[in-house]
Structure 1
């Protein structure tokens, strides 16, 4: 009984490993916070968690290997009890995995709160959170078993280096290997999203490999052949998940349908929900341009954000724009995109020098910028003296020449009524 009490005290003493929780939490939270995208998109929050696992995994694996090496010499105390020789190792792995998951939960809370504090958009893929947790546990089990099998301090270094290289040397979106846990993923752009099937396959891969390692160790220590069937099933799960990831071609994201956030007065402006904070500034910037183009072939009453992969157009009164985030100057850039769609790219590809200067004068007025210096001082002075209404009337008359970059000095002889 006294020996059994010593074993219980030995197991209880392992709670000291919980000091690893603050360390893992601090490191993981710092990495995840830096990885958060400027736009509060839940898919990128999941990627921030995965990025934290790419650093937490090697760290947790090293701590697990160090624990296994340190406690290996005390196995003789466990042998004094009638329990299976694998039981002590299972308890260690359970405790270490629990500590790692507590840290991961704290990091997840930081990411979720950081996303909620902004105008979050898109669904939170819980499968992605589980994929990160499964990958972290896989690192813990792999590190611990390596320390058990080769109880040397050098093993700790080898484990940390090997797992870090596995995480760091894979390039996102180059092949399906980059999707193996912990996945190396690029930031998800607006109007695209993580493919849930890929996240599920990653979870199955980590769970299957973790189970296979545990079952292989149990089979090796207990020699119970019944475990072979379970080991085969775990390996089959790993193969199945690998084939699913290979079939993706390394692409973890795909286009998704998004219900835009809109503001409808005095014109309609619609953007990705993650950019809804930019609606007032976009409205203020686009409305003057819409007013100046009124009653011309380039008139528009709606501005619509579209994916970067689509072509920017101005058709049937709808102007499309491309925005990645709300960095300073985004509203001016959106207005410039609309203005650039007003001219014929074929006719304006190689304009005459004088025509290019006249176009720059009109372009500056359309977007509310300072007028450029042009060689025709008379035209610049005349246009500068016209009222806003006179300029709009002039544009309605001369829009075709502006569209084809064919303006000349005669067009600025007098304002239109």
Structure 2
């Protein structure tokens, strides 16, 4: 099938590459800052595991191409995918207008983007009106198929989905989309058919539920340590309950990323637009913002409310492992608080140093290093803020020798307290380790 994907950021590139990989002829159209020429050369805007190889292989095979020409994209596609971040809704509006004004055949639009509830219905009505004004008779369907990919595992999330939420009322369109997704849905039927509005609402609801789960387990962890309870023991008890499970049940220093909290905030706004005060979701978001500073507050108390002149090493700047993104990352808020109180920060991240440097700009107080152990030289404390795999089993002897004071604030609970104590460290986690 000939597919046009509008949007060449993470979701759009994963969609374009994956659909090309299964034999479709895909033309991807950037609508943001990405340039078609650079994308053809493999210069991608996101550092996502496996994505550069996927795109390069499909370009080489001739099944994937890039263009800035929207008209070319509209003429090419038998189906159009809208794969844009939520903040590019204005671009999606322009794409829909362009389709309505220049398409000359049946139209199928598959919206993967997290836009307000009712967007798919509105887009469909807009194209139908434009066709009627042009005297064009054609079938028009706009489906909602929200993406549930995560940075760091995006290709696997798309190609091996736990479910495909598909909102559509047109039986022909449903059959076409299911056939298009068949290579990713051949083990068991994971497609959940519903109305377009229900599909749009589902995406918001999933993120809201996951955010609530994270904030609740963080609140449980923050209080467990004051009762001399190891939250890991509690987590094992919770997760073993089949009604709860272990996913998203890891206490830590809060969640971040460019869209997770934004989607929950958007749902709050949607509720409020209907006169409903979303107290629970507001509390979840506020809890998470407070949680981002949990390691800073522990250090503040441990060092008797005086961090001036202290050297604090930070391992992990990205909001999660396997990504270079620092948007809304706990590291940002933590480092800002440390520097504001006079501490010197020396930080390392396997991928996100450049992104953090762009964010931090010319401000003083932070030094970025390219080797994890370099951050520890004469450090008064180490804060672990992202659970990169390389941090899990470090050389404890080397760490002890490098640090001025062997103190670890473990914001992701990746270390066993007894192991660190045996190596001479003070250890403070989230619901684990020493209480401060």
TM-score (norm 1): 0.24
Bigger CA radius of gyration:
1
TM-score (norm 2): 0.24
Structure whose residues are more often strand by fraction:
2
**More relative contact order in 1 or in 2 (CA 8 Å, sep 6+)?**
1
